Amino acid sequence: MRVGVLLMTHEAVGQALICAARHVMPNLPLKLDAVEVPPQADLDAMRTLTAGHVRALDQGDGVLVLADLYGATPCNIGLSLGSLGLRLRCVSGLNLPMLLRVLNYAEKSLDELAEIAASGGRNGIHIDHA
């Protein structure tokens, strides 16, 4: 299985996370890309651009969309792509632990990776009482 991964974020967030992931894992096991939505973006143009990225990432097993903030424009664009017949799952709350967790389970299916992403994001948050 080879699921593509698309980060849907506000400006500069997606590429920074990809850079950090490459620092930890120089050879990324999955096709990974980011669409960063700038302020005052043309939503129709962004949706068309994003659909192109999803099609380029899909190797037959679908695309996992990781969005930075549920309900915000990048996430809403990602969620809207399902209506175009694209095979994808969208998980919001993107953080570096979530992305690294997904990349460590590259052989999993799209549905499994969505669950792994959510779990990795939650489990990557710790409160230190020191």
Domain annotation covers residue 130: no
Residue 129 lies in a domain: no
Evaluated on CA atoms 81, 83, 85, 88, the torsion sign reads: positive
Q: How far apart are CA 63 and CA 104, in angstroms?
A: 16
With respect to residue 128, please indicate whether it lies within any of the assigned structural domains. Answer: no
As for how many domains the chain has, the answer is 1
pLDDT tens string for the chain (130 positions)?
Answer: 699 999 999 999 999 999 999 999 999 999 999 999 999 999 999 999 999 999 999 999 999 999 999 999 999 999 999 898 999 999 999 999 999 999 999 999 999 999 999 999 999 999 999 8
Q: Domain of residue 17: give its range.
A: 4-123
CATH number of residue 84's parent domain: 3.40.50.510
**Is residue 9 in a domain?**
yes
* Residues 55-86 as b or e (16 or more Cβ within 10 Å = b): eebbeeebbbbbbbbeeebbbbbbbbbeeeeb
Give the pair of three-digit tokens for residue 98.
Answer: 């979530």
